[in-house]
Amino acid sequence: MINDKKVLFSGMQATGTLTLGNYAGALKNWVQLSDQYQCFYSVVDLHSITIRRDPADLRKRARDLLALYIAAGLDPKKNCIYYQSHVSAHAELAWILNCFTYMGELNRMTQFKDKSRKHQDNINAGLFTYPVLMAADILLYQADVVPVGLDQMQHLELTRDIAQRFNKIYGDVFTVPEPYVGKAGANIKSLQEPDKKMSKSDENPNASIYLTDDPDTVMRKCKRAVTDSGSEILYRDDKPGIRNLIDIYCAMTGKTPGETEKEFEGKGYGQFKEAVGESVVAQLRPLQERFAQVSADKAYLSGIIKENGEKASYFATKTLRKVQQKIGFPARP
């Protein structure tokens, strides 16, 4: 606990470009959490290299992601926004926690199995121990809560198991984190396969709306979105395409599915798709303007990177030194 506030940790990988799903499902909620928690939001670039990356591209995407955090409304004075790779304690604690994690636990991780199938030419040890690094990310800051989706819940459960195992041996060293249960972010799906979530790594460029897409691109993608048989704008499970577009419209306008159904009663898919596109364009315009401002001010962004990196290092090192002392490493002079 810092300044009488509970600590919250979360982060995103510096790969791909953030989608509307990332924004509506996570970033918008992060902004609202700033007053309630002491928040650490990381650009998790260490996690990004389990797959081969072009170095220049990785650097640019990491900087763009940090700028998007700020453009979305995260105040870098209230929130610690930093590069994971600038805090060496992440990697140091991950090695220690590897020695308190069992092979069987890692073998059960479904994300490792999924990524191994997709990248059979590069099934590396980092991909296997990825969840331990994630545990180190969380435990370094003594996080009380972690906002996670269902796809990450298994990793948080492992983090809790590791923390409890370590605490049982050495005393109360780590805060055992809880999943954040609050207002659910919009669950936005792919525009082309509405049974799958919108992904920044989707190979189909029409499947995802990216936060940096210009208005014409947004409108084109919405008009090409998959719909269902019939012509009524109804929020039903048997109409996944229209249901997804309604979710997007509601996330952008603040309206409910019921209000949306009434608004578009008697209107066709074409009119509705256009309205969805316009609502997205209107929501993204101020974010994109702010992103351009932040990205252009290199001195401002570099100052935030330095200041927040030092702040993150301070809190992370406090935990790391305690862990090192507990397990018997020699004290530093």
Question: What tokens does 306 get?
Answer: 């330095």
The catalytic residue among 200, 311, 318, 322 is: 200
pLDDT value of residue 182: 60
Q: Among this protein's residues, is 298 annotated catalytic? A: no
pLDDT value of residue 277: 97
How far apart, in whole angstroms, are the C-alpha atoms of residue 262 and residue 280? 20
- Range in 16-30, 105-119, 244-258, 318-332 the model is least confident about: 105-119
0.85 exceeded by pTM: yes
Question: What tokens does 111 get?
Answer: 């994300």
The catalytic residue among 113, 183, 189, 197 is: 197
The CATH 3.40.50.620 domain(s) of the chain lie at 7-181+298-327
How far apart, in whole angstroms, are the C-alpha atoms of residue 213 and residue 249? 17
Q: Among this protein's residues, is 28 annotated catalytic? A: no
Q: What is the pLDDT of residues 285-318, one digit of tens each?
A: 999 999 999 999 999 999 999 999 999 999 999 9
Q: What is the pLDDT of residues 240-283, one digit of tens each?
A: 999 999 999 999 999 999 999 999 999 999 999 999 999 999 99
Please provide the DSSP assignment of 128-171 as one string: HHHHHHHHHHHHHTT-SEE---GGGHHHHHHHHHHHHHHHHHHS
Helix (H) or strand (E) holding 127: helix 125-140
More confident of the two residues 150 and 298: 298
How far apart, in whole angstroms, are the C-alpha atoms of residue 144 and residue 310? 21
Q: Among this protein's residues, is 197 annotated catalytic? A: yes
Q: What is the pLDDT of residues 186-213, one digit of tens each?
A: 689 999 999 998 988 888 989 999 999 9
Q: Provide the mean pLDDT of the chain.
A: 91
80, 111, 160, 207, 240 from 204: Cα distances, Å: 34, 21, 36, 6, 18
CA 30, 201, 304 angle in degrees (round to 5)? Answer: 40
Query: What is the band of 328 on the pLDDT scale with cuts at 50, 70, 90?
Result: very high
Please provide the DSSP assignment of 190-237 as one string: PSS-TTSB--TT-S-TTS--BTT--HHHHHHHHHT----SSS-----T
Q: At the topology level of CATH, where does 215-292 sit?
A: Tyrosyl-Transfer RNA Synthetase (1.10.240)
Q: Domain 7-181+298-327 belongs to what architecture?
A: 3-Layer(aba) Sandwich (3.40)
How far apart, in whole angstroms, are the C-alpha atoms of residue 18 and residue 256? 25
pLDDT value of residue 201: 81
pLDDT value of residue 14: 84
Average pLDDT (121-130) is 82
Model confidence at 185: pLDDT above 70: no
Query: What is the band of 332 on the pLDDT scale with cuts at 50, 70, 90?
Result: confident
How far apart, in whole angstroms, are the C-alpha atoms of residue 233 and residue 266? 8
Query: What is the band of 119 on the pLDDT scale with cuts at 50, 70, 90?
Result: low
The CATH 1.10.240.10 domain(s) of the chain lie at 215-292
CA 174, 309, 88 angle in degrees (round to 5)? Answer: 60
End-to-end alpha carbon distance in the chain: 28
pLDDT value of residue 2: 63
